[in-house]
């Protein structure tokens, strides 16, 4: 597979890392999904045939009605009759298609629908499971790319995750609809969709919490309240179950330790994390994701890091090192939404403090309310990915009849947000002498208006590849790697190309071995050296001090 050491595909539990730690050589192989796909294919085919059969039956029934009234009529009316029957058949098919998007898909229906999409677009899709829920349901991902199951160098990877809270299923339905939209666009050779698939690798996990969804779906609406189905089958809120890396970030900042990224190595707890959390956590760590969004319901706003305030549960602004970039990403979604950034709706909770439309439809997570153990900040502090959280409906579980309108409200936003992955810069870092990739090189960004770099570097993967999302501006890019001289370049980011970030490659000069040895010796000299005590020598010194000496000897001493 891509970017992997093929001999090291199995998940590893490392001590003190709660199943989450992954190095650049770790990865988790895609789980083949043949059994469910086969079932889904056959079932989907049956449903498709049934839909056609019902439509034809309706047409025949219409034909019989028309035939009765026109049996004795002139034969000149027969062409009209055929046209009417044809139109009635089309109407039946269109009604069937409309009904599909006006109701919620059960988990089995979700799997069948994704399998149907995969069957329609096999050249650009692949289905895989990243794990199972508590009750054994597969966490199914559909991957869209011109090279499904693979990774093209400098082709960025992005993901959408829906239904993390089981009783918030609008995002789930939007992502199923988005998957269908991408497939239909590919079949129809839609220019925008074709360009997106040619330049982007898209992973869609429509439901992270299928158990919670089934519970909420099978509960009468009047009895759901605000919490039924929110958590998983173990009654754990999955958006509080990820490692709390914000706490580590704040601690190292207090101690003035220059460590700002990939903080999972410093994390340790004895908590048993949920299978859904572990599966998604491993997925996040095993893929070189660049951009991500997590879809929720309960309000109408685009939320960005940090989600956790330092040392308090109060609602205060928690600014991440990439605050400006995150605000820009959130505004991309809200500005393209039909209502999110517009003053055409009341605040969902009726309070002036949460009138997000007046803020452009965006909010800092901790300023809204502080959350520890959330997935959004985990992405940012454990990997190179940048994730925001999208709240897409005031109602957590609206009637299915509202889904078509919600799709229209969000369709442009979902598409435009994916295009943002081609912002900023990307490139390869190689050994200037051998041409070999330099893995784990650190990429720092310094804004032209600032004296210090942004305290959140990204690192290259095993093929020396990096991506750095940035809004328009002037920057200095600084690259550091063990065994190489630092390098820097000044870049004017324009984001002019819709389908590619600006390419900035680096060929690093290796540090001569003699110089590396000298640097190592200098570092060792800076470390305090403790001399071993010799007990016999100590006794001799004490004995000498105890012996009587002449005045001349004392003066000589």
Range 104-122 burial, b when 16+ CB lie within 10 A, else e: bbebebbbbbbbbbbbebe
Q: Select from 437, 477, 433 the least CA-distant residue to 461.
A: 437
Please give the Cα distance from 161 to 177 (Å, whole number): 13
Please give the Cα distance from 206 to 177 (Å, whole number): 10
Contact 490, 481 (CB under 8 A): no
Sign of CA dihedral 116, 403, 102, 166: positive
Sign of CA dihedral 13, 15, 18, 23: negative
Cis peptide bond prior to 306, omega within 30° of 0: yes
Contact 473, 397 (CB under 8 A): no
- Name the residue with tokens 């951009």: 291
Please give the Cα distance from 48 to 76 (Å, whole number): 35
Compute CA distances 39 → 120, 175, 209, 417, 482, whole Å: 16, 22, 22, 34, 51
The torsion angles phi and psi of 443, rounded to 5 degrees, stand at: -110, 110
Contact 497, 200 (CB under 8 A): no
Catalytic residue among 391, 440, 523, 536: 391
| Residue 391 designated active-site | yes
Q: Select from 136, 170, 162, 166 the least CA-distant residue to 228.
A: 166
Compute CA distances 394 → 97, 132, 215, 339, whole Å: 26, 29, 21, 12
Angle, CA of 234, 236 and 241, to the nearest 5°: 130
Please give the Cα distance from 2 to 148 (Å, whole number): 11
Distance of CA 495 to the CA centre of its chain: 22
> Could you list the active site residues?
391
């Amino acid at each position: 597979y891509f970017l992997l050491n093929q001999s090291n595909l199995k998940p590893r539990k490392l001590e003190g890392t709660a199943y989450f730690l992954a190095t650049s050589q770790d990865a988790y192989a895609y789980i083949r999904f043949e059994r469910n796909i086969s079932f889904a294919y056959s079932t989907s085919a049956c449903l498709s045939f049934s839909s056609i059969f019902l439509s034809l039956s309706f047409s025949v029934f219409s034909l019989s009605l028309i035939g009765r009234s026109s049996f004795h009529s002139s034969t000149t009316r027969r062409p009209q009759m055929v046209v009417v029957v044809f139109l009635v058949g089309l109407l039946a098919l269109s009604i069937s298609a409309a009904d599909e998007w006006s109701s919620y898909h059960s988990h089995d229906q979700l799997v069948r629908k994704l399998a149907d999409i995969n069957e329609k677009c096999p050249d650009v899709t692949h289905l895989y499971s990243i794990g199972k829920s508590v009750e054994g349901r597969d966490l199914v991902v559909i991957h869209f790319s011109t090279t499904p199951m693979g990774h093209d160098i400098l082709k960025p990877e992005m993901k959408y995750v829906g239904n993390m809270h089981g009783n918030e299923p609008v995002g789930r339905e939007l992502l199923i609809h988005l998957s269908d939209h991408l497939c239909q666009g590919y079949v129809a050779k839609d220019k925008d969709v074709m360009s997106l698939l040619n330049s982007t690798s898209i992973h869609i996990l429509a439901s992270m919490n299928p158990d919670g969804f089934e519970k909420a779906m099978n509960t009468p609406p009047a009895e759901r309240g605000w919490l039924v189905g929110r958590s998983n089958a173990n009654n754990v809120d999955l958006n509080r179950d990820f490692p709390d890396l914000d706490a580590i970030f704040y601690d190292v900042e207090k101690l003035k330790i220059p460590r700002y990224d990939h903080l999972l190595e410093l994390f340790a707890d004895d908590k048993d994390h949920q299978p859904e959390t572990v599966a998604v956590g491993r997925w996040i760590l095993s893929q070189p994701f660049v951009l991500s969004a997590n879809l929720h319901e309960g309000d109408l706003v685009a939320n960005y890091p940090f989600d956790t305030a330092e040392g308090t549960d109060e609602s205060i602004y928690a600014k991440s090192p990439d605050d400006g970039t995150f605000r820009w990403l959130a505004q991309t979604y809200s500005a393209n939404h039909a209502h999110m950034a517009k003053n055409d709706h009341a605040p969902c909770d009726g309070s002036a403090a949460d009138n997000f439309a007046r803020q452009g439809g965006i909010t800092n997570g901790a300023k809204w309310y502080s959350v520890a153990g959330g997935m959004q900040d985990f992405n940012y502090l454990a990997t190179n990915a940048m994730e925001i959280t999208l709240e897409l409906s005031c109602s957590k579980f609206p009637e299915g009849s509202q889904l078509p309108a919600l799709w229209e409200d969000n369709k442009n936003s979902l598409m435009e947000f994916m295009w943002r992955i081609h912002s900023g810069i990307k490139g390869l870092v190689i050994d200037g002498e051998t041409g070999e990739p330099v893995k784990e090189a650190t990429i720092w960004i310094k804004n032209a208006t600032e004296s210090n770099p942004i305290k959140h570097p990204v690192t290259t993967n095993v093929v020396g590849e990096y991506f750095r999302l940035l809004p328009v501006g002037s920057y200095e890019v600084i690259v550091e790697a063990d065994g190489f001289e630092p390098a820097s370049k000044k870049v004017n980011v324009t984001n002019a190309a819709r389908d590619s970030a600006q390419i900035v490659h680096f060929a690093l000069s290796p540090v001569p071995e003699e110089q590396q040895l000298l640097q190592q010796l200098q570092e060792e000299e800076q470390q305090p050296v403790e001399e071993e005590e010799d007990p016999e020598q100590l006794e001799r010194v004490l004995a000498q001090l105890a012996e009587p000496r002449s005045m001349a000897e004392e003066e000589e001493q």
